[in-house]
Chains A and B, each alone.
Chain A
């Protein structure tokens, strides 16, 4: 930063602001697409876009290691698992459910209760966003101007192996347990067919 003069700094900040808004708007629109898309498989692929956008934001926040880890773990690993799970289950579920709801007739009072129940998640989401925003805005953050040190990966590695080594080990145990648990849960016991569902071991 010492090489830059004030004018350059202002232009840099303006560029950063524009880039932030561009990426943020794309991420918001894509995440709305994730929750609203009728086609769940497409929603799974749109999720890659959201994760990519957020990893760009990580790059802007000078967290290079986490940006790449984000792409590797979320955008490739988790999304792959999600899409495979979608293909193994019933991706047309929500379309069918919607068709069912349209055909059913309800009494007006029940319809009103249903409408209120349906609006409840939106109200909760709106309200939590607004509350969080008010809390964030009115807090006096003491922001420092200094940049993240260029060798922040070294700092991260050192603290992971010294002061945070116990949580690190716990995380590895958690991953191992999750791996074994997922295999145990998803493993097919026998060649189960639809007729065998009624039989109890």
Chain B
């Protein structure tokens, strides 16, 4: 009954509510942009935690738009994460921007790693997380330590480890698939006692 109802809901409403949510987020971003161009605007924003409050607001609005009005989940997720990324970094210095982007990519990768049922997608999410760490290190090398680029050095080692991890992980997935005929994470219980 529930699924029939949600299917009979026209796709137009879904799109319209996602669009309304996007407009709301854009208004929030422009409001904060206007605040940050004031004299000492950035300091006052950080002191009053205005950006954190608006991030909470965007999250809550996304949940409401998805669960109450039926906006599309992926649309809300994309608009919410892009919007809150821009909102949180708009007045910050470049290093904080890069670190925030890397934190966001890391969080997305972690969510995908825990959530997905296909073992190969789990490996893809882990690659995403390793890439976020690399971005972090290279941003540090650029802005903190541009003389002896130590961050890039460690990024090279992470690149190596990521390649090794991908090769071994995918070989394990193939081997398990040959044994159990599945790559479903919920059915990987060969080692359960």
A interface residues (Cβ-Cβ under 8 A, vs B): 16-17, 20-21, 24-25, 27-29, 31-32, 34-36, 40, 43-44, 47, 50-51, 54, 57-58, 61-63, 65-66, 69-70, 73-74, 77-78, 81-82, 85-86, 88-91, 93-94, 97, 102, 120-122, 124-126, 128-130, 132-134, 136-138, 141-144, 146-149, 152, 155-156, 159-160, 164, 167, 171, 174-175, 177-179, 181-186, 188, 192, 194, 197
Contact = CB atoms under 8 A, between A and B. Distances in A.
Given A89-B174, A134-B52, A146-B146, A35 B116 contact: yes
Given A66-B152, A197-B179, A34 B138 contact: no
Interface residues of B, number: 89
A148 B156 CA distance: 17
Contact of A141 (B121, B143, B146): B143
A81 B166 contact: yes
B139 A61 contact: yes
Contact of A128 (B106, B131, B135, B173): B106
B12 interface: no
A129 B103 CA distance: 6
Interface of B: 3, 46, 52, 55, 59, 74, 77-78, 81-82, 85-86, 88, 92-101, 103-112, 114-121, 123-125, 127-128, 131, 134-135, 138-139, 141-150, 152-153, 155-157, 159-168, 170-175, 177-179, 181-184
A31 B168 contact: no
A171 to B, nearest CB: 4
A39 B93 CA distance: 38
B146 A129 contact: no
A185 B110 CA distance: 26
A54 B115 contact: no
A29 to B, nearest CB: 6
A166 B74 CA distance: 46
A interface: dominant SS: helix
Nearest 8 Cβ contacts at the A-B interface:
A35-B112, A178-B164, A125-B111, A132-B103, A185-B171, A129-B107, A121-B114, A182-B171
A88 B134 CA distance: 30
B132 to A, nearest CB: 8
Contact of B128 (A21, A34, A40, A70): A34
Contacts of A43: 121, 124
A63 B152 contact: yes
Given A61-B142, A66-B152, A171 B107 contact: no
Given A74-B162, A89-B183, A179-B167, A130 B144 contact: no
A61 B59 CA distance: 30
